Amino acid sequence: MATVEDRALASKTSLNDDIGEETRLRMYRIQVEIREAEQRAFDLFLQNLVKGTSHLSLGQEAVAAGCAAAMKPGDLSFCTYRGHAHTLARGVPIEQVLGELMQRDNGLMRGKGGSMHLTSVDHGVMGSYAIIGAHLPIACGAAWRAQYKGQKDVSVCFFGDGTTNIGAFHEALNFAAVWKLPVIFICENNLYMEYTPIGDVTAVQHPAADRASAYGLPRIVVRRLDSGEEHLIAFAEDAYSLSIEAGYEFATDVLKLYLPITIEVVPLSEPPGAPPPR
């Protein structure tokens, strides 16, 4: 596994030479599978075949793919209502995901949950949650169970930047820090709380990382690969296209720590018209 020093010396070469071709191809396939499945879900939604609403993560596939590749069997994923990517990345068949979106009997919950409640215990996907922030304390509960029973699984909780303005976010981080729980909080900050720019309603620039430090957790902001810090993602084609090789390596390092960690993934550059960060 490459170290921070290795990264500094490898600025002109691949930072992840130790990942190997097999893992690289696996992560690439996961990304392609997620992109194709979500694009198909979008097409089906426009045809009124997807019932209810559907939240896509097009352009953010690398976060799910990199983390899933680093997670071990038994590790648990907790997702928001934007959970298609994380569910697919843990190995749930596309047919069951799309079937659930279309209320078909072959869906994960036989069509009774829909897009925002994807769950597969067999794959370690412990639910997608429509109530913003509700799953963070639940992830803490799962991590507390592992700690109490001496089990080695890690809970990985994904959420958006808007969640950081919910009380459950602060309660969960404080609880995890006090009990030193094996839980990783990953904020996928796309700069907008649905329609509201996060910078317009938040006093700090990095809503997850800056606040995590107040609870004694490491402040980790993932932006790009050339700033001399540990990183999760790099941007390839544009500000929304993510590279997952560093994601896999960084997530693997973090999972070994077995401590509460908060990671905030932010764009390398802001989209046109976005307000400047505070």
Amino acid at 187: C
Task: Give the H/E segment covering residue 21.
Answer: helix 21-46
pLDDT in tens, 230-259: 333 333 232 233 334 445 555 666 666 656
Tokens of 203: 């006093």
Cα→Cα distances 122→79, 125, 134, Å: 15, 8, 22
Could you give the count of Cα atoms lying within 13 Å of 185 in the half-sphere of its Cβ?
40
Domain 4-265 superfamily per CATH? Thiamin diphosphate (ThDP)-binding fold, Pyr/PP domains (3.40.50.970)
pLDDT per residue, tens digit, the chain (278 aa), is 333 333 333 444 444 456 677 877 888 888 889 999 999 989 999 999 988 888 888 888 888 888 888 888 999 999 999 889 999 999 999 899 988 888 888 888 887 887 888 888 999 999 899 899 999 999 999 999 999 999 988 899 999 999 999 999 999 999 999 998 989 899 988 888 888 888 899 999 899 989 998 998 888 887 643 333 333 333 323 223 333 444 555 566 666 665 687 888 776 555 444 444 44
Tracing tokens 């071990």 back to the chain, one arrives at 72
Task: Enter the tokens of residue 147.
Answer: 């700690």
Do the Cβ atoms of 87 and 118 come closer than 8 Å? yes
Rounded Cα distance, 78 and 112, in Å: 19
The neighbour count for residue 105, using CB atoms within 10 Å, is 8
| Domain residue limits, the chain | 4-265
Q: What is the largest CA-CA distance in the chain?
A: 54
Q: How far is it, in rounded angstroms, from Cα 131 to Cα 112?
A: 17
Sign, CA dihedral 166-220-154-144, equals negative
Tokens 């130790």 correspond to what residue? 18
Q: Which helix (H) or strand (E) element contains residue 141?
A: helix 135-149
For 25-82, the DSSP string reads: HHHHHHHHHHHHHHHHHHHHHHTT-S-S-----TT-HHHHHHHHHHPPTT-EEEEES-
